[in-house]
Structure 1
Amino acid sequence: MQNRRILRILFASFIITSGIIIINISSGIPGADKENDYISPSPDIEKLDISLKDSEDNNVKNEDETKEDGESENDNLKKERVKVKAVYITGASAGNDAFLDKIINFTKNTELNAVVLDVKEDGKVNYKSDLKSVRDINAYTELYDVDKVIKKLKDNGVYVIGRVVCFRDDHLAMKRADLAVKKTDGSIWKENNAIAWTNPYNQEVWDYNIEIAKEAVDKGFDEIQFDYVRFPAVSSKQVYYGENLPEKADAICGFLKKAAEELNKKGVLVSADIFAIVCETPGDTEGIGQVLERVGMDIDYISPMIYPSHYANSSRGMMGNGVGQSINGVVFTAPDLKPYEVVYNVLEKTKDRISKVENYKADVRPYIQGFTASYLPKGYYQVYGPEQIKQQIKAVYDAGFEEWIVWDAGNNYVEEAFTR
């Protein structure tokens, strides 16, 4: 029974900032305590109004649904979708002409055809924003010239996805304490005593992020991808969100539904990043509001972040539980050494689960690992070079999917990884 409980879930969330890696390990999501959940009343929280109707009525557009002028409301969305093969790039990298030229050359010589580019990260829009809500709190930094970068990428046929980090927003939370996740004593809660979060139940927070996304679309981004579209991984005994609130998954799905409705009208697709462990565990086991069967009902893509290094290994060191991690019924004692097998099994289970959900809208476009997890114990990690990336890409294809994104926070990409 004990082994079963250990095998059920052991996952780590980690933050990489300025070269510092902070890792928390626990059963399930770090700090998540599913027993004796506690929510204290919050007098200043905005009343939440979430109406999630049947997906059959609201999540799938009727082909005959048109505007008054006879033109389809989502005409642009009916165009053939790009089969995205992308890398993630930071705002700082986008501002480097030589780096951008290198990525563009990759797209000419390999199957790479897209990038995921930071729109908002670390609480700051990465380019000069014209939004009053952003400018009033100085929530932007000019890491790249958005008009110049978008034009250069699109002139070279590169599909550009804008990444918007949502609720993990220290800048907004500290400027607007009324929008922040609070401790039970009413003070601002901070992840690892360092980073404040905004409250995912608060619709003013929703609107703030949606407006940033809409501005990005106006500046030429082809698609919007929401990241950190979840609740923080913390025990409910430590924080409170308000009184008489719906389930966390209702808030996350409500936000995505509203965002998709507004952004689809502008002719762009909407995607969301999710913890890969959500594809393994039932319901909202992790306590973050991400439920596989629900999170993709109203958006166009989900991107489970399938990084083999993030799963438990059998060591007694970093990420270790002495047993390993069960994925799709297969136990991995050193998952980082099995990139193909981990990615394949996660996607097989994901495919099986969502196939049972009627009118599930989202396609699956996974993130895969492009970095070396040298913080793991010796013998439990390997250098992730072109071969390891190719193995993961092959797993995506073998599992029946066509799209992928490679994540490396350092943006250290080499052309060989993307040649077939």
Structure 2
Amino acid sequence: MRRRIRFRPVAFALLVCAICRPVLAIEGTVLSKPDQAPLAGAIVTSGALTTRTDAAGHFQLPVSNGALAVRAAGYERRQLVLAAGQDQAQRIVLAPFQPKAVYLSVYGIGSSVLRDAALKLEDQTALNALVIDVKGDRGLIPYPSALPLASTIGAQKVRSVSDMPAMIKLLRQKNIYLIGRIVVFKDDLLATAHPELALHGPDGALWHDREGLAWLDPMREEGWRYSLDVAEEAARLGFDEIQFDYVRFPDAPGLRFAQPNTQANRVAAITGFLNAARKRLAPYNVFVAADIFGYVLWNPDDTAIGQEINQLVQAVDYVCPMLYPSGFTWGLPGTSNPVEHPYDIVFRSLQKAKQRTGLPGLRFRPWLQDFTDYAFDRRKFDADEVQAQIEAARAAGSNGWMLWNPRNHYGRDGLPCDDGGCPP
């Protein structure tokens, strides 16, 4: 016999009231500073609700939490708190901004020597941003994380930063744009602790790359959750941008995956993860970026690693190609020795990216080489080579640039100065 459900009058009235409560809808226009031109495609967020501005910069969005957040590629992000009952049209102006960054590893951000050297360059040159490892190449998280899994798998065995909120506050006081780098599928700690999520070789054994590190299977969505949790924690800590690295398949034959190893399945896995990240991070109004191989800008397929340029640009705010001349080991058309032509490698690759996607340069921010060549003639990349790459990125209209040195050693020579000139 089915039980009859009785509604208490008061409780039912409250339920109806909650359902029928009007939701404040805000409309407005997003403009660029200083020309007041409308910004099409700007992302407007309230809570988990998101929309984009139209060609006239106009938007309309229900406000779920009394706050409105706005961001657009090539501009600073903004957060607005709306007064109770405020329903007039909003006029939101975003200031242009292009990050110019150096990278600090798990150990670099915790080393006073390496960190202070980077901050000195931020004071002396046009540098205005830092890329900081939030989850590094070996799976380490450098600060005390609230995620239980981080401790369980050993990601907390090295804590180079004892108080990350205090560190972020210090860097914010210096007006530094903060990019949190998260290495995704190359995660030896998680793959070893949970082999059911990992990649396996033809013999069924846990597979390891040339560094001896195990990887997660990108086709197993249950393996995505940990990196998404780390990303959300970083967003709550106050990073401006979350940048996913190793968001790809390894370039190795004969591996076993959860699904058939086809281009369609690979691309679906990589873009699926990035779309999941964008959805998870929506309430925080952080920019979402992905690091990709330089050849991805040139190859018409997914380069056998799941990175297909026209799919990637739809899933993130910024695509960050690694345009290290040393990485172009097969050269480019008309260029057989890329390290002799650092300007051409960067400029031509970014032009190819714009041509293939139809997007402006502001959607791309390249990684540039600031380390000794390993593939051709072992030449050092000094001031001239660094400067050439930076000039190429600027000429191509990219959204700034980032310098990579695995040892976190950066020199002042070759770096541009701001409009006020370099201080002595």
Output the TM-score relative to the length of structure 1: 0.76
The answer as to 2:222 corresponding to 1:241 is: no
The answer as to 2:179 corresponding to 1:183 is: no
CA spacing shift, 1:257–1:203, aligned 2, 3 Å = same
The answer as to 2:383 corresponding to 1:389 is: no
CA spacing shift, 1:198–1:59, aligned 2, 3 Å = farther
- Which of 312, 323, 327 aligns to 1:310? It is 327
CA spacing shift, 1:270–1:81, aligned 2, 3 Å = farther
User: How far apart are the structure 2 equivalents of 1:66 and 1:158?
Assistant: 32
Q: Spell out, residue by residue over 1:139-191, the C-alpha distance to the aligned partner (whole angstroms, 9 max, x if none).
A: 22202232332222111111110000000011100000111012233321111
User: How far apart are the structure 1 equivalents of 2:347 and 2:145?
Assistant: 40
Q: Which moved more, 1:74-83 or 1:87-96?
A: 74-83
Q: Spell out, residue by residue over 1:112-145, the C-alpha distance to the aligned partner (whole angstroms, 9 max, x if none).
A: 0001000101112122211112122232220223
Output the TM-score relative to the length of structure 2: 0.75
Gaps of 5+ in 2: 1-48, 54-58, 79-93, 418-424
CA spacing shift, 1:381–1:135, aligned 2, 3 Å = closer
User: How far apart are the structure 1 equivalents of 2:367 and 2:391?
Assistant: 13
The answer as to 2:367 corresponding to 1:371 is: no
Q: Spell out, residue by residue over 1:231-287, the C-alpha distance to the aligned partner (whole angstroms, 9 max, x if none).
A: 11112x333333698511011001101101221321211111000100010021x21
What is the Cα deviation at residue 332 of structure 1? 1.2
- Map 1:280-291 → 2, pairs under 5 A: 280-284=298-302, 286-291=303-308
The higher-RCO structure (CA 8 Å, 6+ apart) is 1
Letter in structure 1 aligned against 2:409:
N
Gaps of 5+ in 1: 1-57, 313-323
SS of aligned partner of 1:349: helix
Partner of 2:191: 173
Q: Spell out, residue by residue over 1:345-390, the C-alpha distance to the aligned partner (whole angstroms, 9 max, x if none).
A: 11111111110x7xx99810000101111x345xx34321112111
Matched positions, count: 341
Q: Spell out, residue by residue over 1:203-227, the C-alpha distance to the aligned partner (whole angstroms, 9 max, x if none).
A: 2221110100111122222211000
8 Å contact from structure 1 (residues 182, 241) kept in 2: no
RMSD: 2.4
- Which of 123, 126, 132 aligns to 1:108? It is 123
User: How far apart are the structure 1 equivalents of 2:349 and 2:383?
Assistant: 21
- Map 1:258-269 → 2, pairs under 5 A: 258-269=276-287
The answer as to 2:342 corresponding to 1:339 is: yes
Percent of matched pairs sharing the same residue: 33
Partner of 2:331: 325
Q: Which has the larger radius of gyration?
A: 2
8 Å contact from structure 1 (residues 210, 259) kept in 2: yes
Partner of 1:401: 398
User: How far apart are the structure 2 equivalents of 1:341 and 1:165?
Assistant: 29
8 Å contact from structure 1 (residues 225, 270) kept in 2: yes
CA spacing shift, 1:392–1:361, aligned 2, 3 Å = closer
What is the Cα deviation at residue 73 of structure 1? 5.6
